[in-house]
Amino acid sequence: MDVEPTVYQIFTPATPANLAFIEREEINNNLVNALRTPGKQIVIYGHSGSGKSTLINKKLERLYENHIVSRCMQGMSFEQLVLDAFDQLSPFYTTEKNQKTTNSVSAQLEATYLGIKSQLSGTSLRESGDKSTRALPPQLTLQNLARFMGQSKSCWILEDFHKINESDRALLSQAMKVFVDMAAEYNTLKIIAIGAVDSARQVVKYDHEMRTRVAEIHVPLMNLHELQDIIIKGGELMNLRFDSSLSSTISHYAAGLPSICHTLCLNICVHLDFNIPSEKLVNIRKESLQPALKMYLDEASDTLKMAFENNLKQSKVKKYNNPELIVKALSELPQEGGTRADIYKRITKYEKDYPQGNLTKYLKQMCEKEITPLIRSSESSGKYAFIDPLYRAFAMALVSITHSHDPHELIDWNDAIASFIKSFSTEELTKSIHTYKILYATDK
Ligand SMILES: Nc1ncnc2c1ncn2[C@@H]1O[C@H](COP(=O)(O)OP(=O)(O)O)[C@@H](O)[C@H]1O
Ligand SMILES: [Mg+2]
């Protein structure tokens, strides 16, 4: 019999999904085609947490023999990435071979690899400032790296490529060109660059001739159906049945982010003490969301509260609480936010004489907050939106609580945030949850 998974293997808020993975039809074909087409380079982009890594992991599992993953970090240079990839290829060229090297080409390649390796491990430590970095041996060209990868039937994944220095990012385009050229010789050779940005062009700026050689794949936030599918799939694996009203509420709060969906489901299970799949099918009701949300807010609330407080507090009393009006308007707009005009229209529903100039000024100010950003503008769409869908969810709840009486009433945000968080710790609810298993256990 298979070993039973634990809830942590099913609901995976911080790692790529595996057991509760759901297919994403609209991206699937493009991605699979691009992976199968020799010479096609790939750029995957989209909001952080939208599911880029999960998707590529799952597809590579099926379509590729090997792959090399280089994780980019802030301030890393392209040279360091080349070295990283080179190091990771080591097992293909240095392990004891049980079969003899089959032909002279691969024998020669192996010799080249080992030659470079010994140069690297020898005298090539060079001091630069505090850090000692390894110099790139002249033989470690992009062509040679491509050969090493091609021979090992690997593709090269560059995770979080947006973190690389701007100046070094241009080198990716050159590397892709080399990989395109060498794909005639090595069919599986390709670079897959992944970036948490709004457009493929922010990941790599390639030139005209490369246009048809690069597949740009956008991974959008998840829609409500996809999020619900995660809940259903994870629920089945846990032998739990999430009420339809509960699963639609979770999907709503997730605000497009599968990671929040996993978080809330995991919290519900942990709170109800389901660490492994239940023996009997158990119904999970809507009430169990409250403690799960509270667990979630407890972890995230510092950042959230700080962002809201810093953006909304006013040093002097002004005629309008401008940031508050903006937040309220944005919370009523869809996930992708709205243009300046959309926001203005919302605000004038409540404040019909609101000056245009105020909106311009405060939108700009709020987008420039570097330490505790709450909203951002997107150049590609011309829209303003919460920087994180999570903030939108928070704002929606906040607004719905604080504006339930008089829409013109000014909000004391500190109070509102505090009471909002408190509203999730109602003792009764927490207590009632503990009797869940008994109350809602049903026979299969
Ligand atoms: N297709 C999917 N099915 C189920 N869960 C997913 C899926 N894609 C992503 N997730 C979950 O969403 C979260 C973020 O996914 P990840 O792939 O790391 O996003 P990204 O790389 O875009 O930041 C993780 O918790 C992961 O488990
Ligand atoms: Mg990722």
Going by alpha carbons, the residue nearest to atom 6 of ligand 1 is: 17
Confidence of residue 291 (pLDDT cuts 50, 70, 90): confident
Q: Which atom of ligand 1 is nearest to the CA of 54?
A: 17
Tell me what percent of the residues of the chain surpass a pLDDT of 70: 82
pLDDT in tens, 122-157: 654 554 444 456 678 889 999 999 999 999 999 999
pLDDT of 427 above 60: no
Place of tokens 């996993």: 262
Going by alpha carbons, the residue nearest to atom 3 of ligand 1 is: 21
- Residue 199 has a pLDDT of 78
Q: Letter for the amino acid at 97?
A: K
Pocket test for ligand 1, best of 12, 54, 219 (most atoms within 8 A of CB): 54
Confidence of residue 397 (pLDDT cuts 50, 70, 90): low
Residue 15 Cα to ligand 2 middle (Å): 9
Of 225, 262, 224, 194, whose CA–CA distance to 16 is shortest? 262
Going by alpha carbons, the residue nearest to atom 14 of ligand 1 is: 49
Burial 354-392 (b: 16+ CB within 10 A, else e): beeebbeebbeebeebeeebbbbbeeeeebbbbbbbbbb
395: tokens are 């704002």
- Euclidean distance between CA atoms 343 and 351, whole angstroms: 12
Ligand nearest to the CA of 229: 1
- Residue 442 has a pLDDT of 41
- Residue 414 has a pLDDT of 55
Residue 90 Cα to ligand 2 middle (Å): 25
Q: Which atom of ligand 1 is nearest to the CA of 46?
A: 22
- Residue 433 has a pLDDT of 36
Lowest mean pLDDT among 91-105, 144-158, 309-323: 91-105
Going by alpha carbons, the residue nearest to atom 4 of ligand 1 is: 21
Residue 174 Cα to ligand 2 middle (Å): 24
Residue 199 Cα to ligand 2 middle (Å): 16
Residue 246 Cα to ligand 1 middle (Å): 21
Residue 288 Cα to ligand 2 middle (Å): 30
Ligand nearest to the CA of 158: 2
Place of tokens 């509203």: 423
Mean pLDDT value of segment 300-307: 73
- Euclidean distance between CA atoms 372 and 366, whole angstroms: 9
Lowest mean pLDDT among 69-78, 80-89, 174-183, 429-438: 429-438
- Residue 300 has a pLDDT of 65
- Residue 3 has a pLDDT of 81
Burial 142-169 (b: 16+ CB within 10 A, else e): bebbbbbbbbbebbbbbbbbbbbeeebb
Q: Which atom of ligand 1 is nearest to the CA of 23?
A: 1
- Residue 417 has a pLDDT of 56
Mean pLDDT value of segment 103-122: 85
Ligand nearest to the CA of 16: 1
| Contact (CB, 8 A) for 245 and 229 | no
Of 269, 212, 208, whose CA–CA distance to 433 is shortest? 269
Mean pLDDT value of segment 103-131: 73
Residues in the chain: 444
Q: Which atom of ligand 1 is nearest to the CA of 263?
A: 25
Lowest mean pLDDT among 254-258, 351-355, 363-367, 419-423: 419-423
- Residue 273 has a pLDDT of 95
Q: Letter for the amino acid at 44?
A: I
Residue 444 Cα to ligand 2 middle (Å): 38
Tell me what percent of the residues of the chain surpass a pLDDT of 90: 50
Neighbours of 261 (CB within 10 A): 27
Q: How much is the CA Rg of the chain, to the nearest whole Å? A: 26
Mean pLDDT value of segment 216-231: 94
Residue 54 Cα to ligand 1 middle (Å): 5
| Contact (CB, 8 A) for 94 and 180 | no
> Which of the two residues, 421 and 112, has the higher pLDDT score?
112
pLDDT of 416 above 60: no
pLDDT in tens, 1-26: 568 899 999 999 999 999 999 999 98
Mean pLDDT value of segment 179-201: 90
Place of tokens 């969810």: 393
> Which of the two residues, 366 and 102, has the higher pLDDT score?
366
- Per the confidence metrics, is the pTM higher than 0.85? no
Going by alpha carbons, the residue nearest to atom 15 of ligand 1 is: 51
Mean pLDDT value of segment 91-115: 75
- Residue 390 has a pLDDT of 73
- Euclidean distance between CA atoms 174 and 205, whole angstroms: 10
CB under 6 Å to ligand 1: residues?
12-13, 16-17, 20-22, 24, 48-54, 230, 258-259, 262
pLDDT of 401 above 90: no
* CATH class of the structural domain 25-218: alpha beta
CA distances from 212 to 28, 192, 206 (A): 19, 15, 11
Going by alpha carbons, the residue nearest to atom 27 of ligand 1 is: 17
pLDDT of 396 above 50: yes
pLDDT in tens, 355-393: 999 999 999 999 988 778 889 888 778 999 998 777 887
Lowest mean pLDDT among 111-115, 204-208, 379-383: 204-208
Residue 386 Cα to ligand 2 middle (Å): 20
Q: Where are the chain's structural domains?
A: 25-218, 223-284, 285-444
Place of tokens 């691969």: 106
> Which of the two residues, 234 and 435, has the higher pLDDT score?
234
> Which of the two residues, 71 and 209, has the higher pLDDT score?
71
Mean pLDDT value of segment 218-241: 96
Handedness of CA 415, 418, 421, 427 (dihedral sign): negative
- Residue 435 has a pLDDT of 38
Going by alpha carbons, the residue nearest to atom 16 of ligand 1 is: 51
Q: Letter for the amino acid at 19?
A: L
Mean pLDDT value of segment 397-418: 54
The full 3-state SS of the chain, as one line of letters, equals CCCCCCHHHHCCCCCCCCCCCCCCHHHHHHHHHHHHCCCCEEEEECCCCCCHHHHHHHHHHHHCCEEEEEECCCCCCHHHHHHHHHHHCHHHHHCCCCCCCCCHHHHHHHHHHHHHHHHHHCCCEEEECCEEEECCCCCCCHHHHHHHHHHCCEEEEEECHHHCCHHHHHHHHHHHHHHHHHCCCCCCCCEEEEECCCCHHHCCCCCHHHHHHEEEEECCCCCHHHHHHHHHHHHHHHCEEECHHHHHHHHHHHCCCHHHHHHHHHHHHHHCCCCCCCCCCEEECHHHHHHHHHHHHHHHHHHHHHHHHHHHCCCCCCCCCHHHHHHHHHHHCCCCCECHHHHHHHHHHHCCCCCHHHHHHHHHHHHHCCCCCCEEECCCCCCEEECCHHHHHHHHHHHHHHCCCCCCCCCCHHHHHHHHHHCCCCHHHHHHHHCHHHHHECCC
Ligand nearest to the CA of 44: 1
